[in-house]
Amino acid sequence: MEPGRTNWYATVPEATTAEQLRGYFADWHDPIPRILQETDPADWVRYEMRHLYPALLRFVHGPKIALVGDAAHAMTPSLGQGACTAILDAEALARTLARHGRARQPQALAAYDRERRRAAQRVAFASRTLHRLMTTEHTGLRDGLIRLLP
């Protein structure tokens, strides 16, 4: 990122205006309110939060198709693990393909699926759960649960 620029994200309802968003964070510590105030809303990029639910029954389709990353387990950024999980998928896929060889590609893909599906889906589930907790309208419940964390 070039000097003088930053990247931030906030999870708010889709119809939230710039002033509402700034109001949500007005009492937060510096530099958060200042950054929001100094950022031109015309430069904001809005994305709808998506996660893949229900989870896929498999990451492999047929003898030649394997899904990795968001194609296999799209998740909210709540844990900051989406890219890491995709890298782990790619490494596992490359390793299983190398170990089994081209002649045994279906077995390699099956091994990849066994290795990565449950682990990736656990991370996606945790991310979705945290996203729900952090965006609940029951702020007292959320804040009480957060206070219990170490």
Domain residue limits, the chain: 11-48, 60-148
Q: Does residue 132 register a pLDDT over 70? A: yes
The pLDDT value recorded for residue 33 is 94
Q: How far apart are CA 147 and CA 139, in angstroms?
A: 12
Phi-psi region at 96: left, alpha or beta (left = phi > 0; alpha = psi -120 to 50): alpha
What percentage of the chain reaches a pLDDT higher than 90?
59
Q: Determine the pLDDT at residue 1.
A: 61
Q: Give the pLDDT confidence score for residue 42 in this predicted structure.
A: 92
Collect all residues with Cβ–Cβ distance below 8 Å to 126 and sequence separation of at least 6. 79
Distance (Å, whole) CA 113 – CA 57: 10
Cβ(63)–Cβ(105) under 8 Å? Answer: yes
pLDDT averaged over every residue in the chain: 89
pTM above 0.85, yes or no: no
Alpha-carbon distance values, 108 to 14, 68, 88, 91, 136 (Å): 42, 14, 16, 13, 42
- pLDDT of residue 120 exceeding 80, the answer is yes
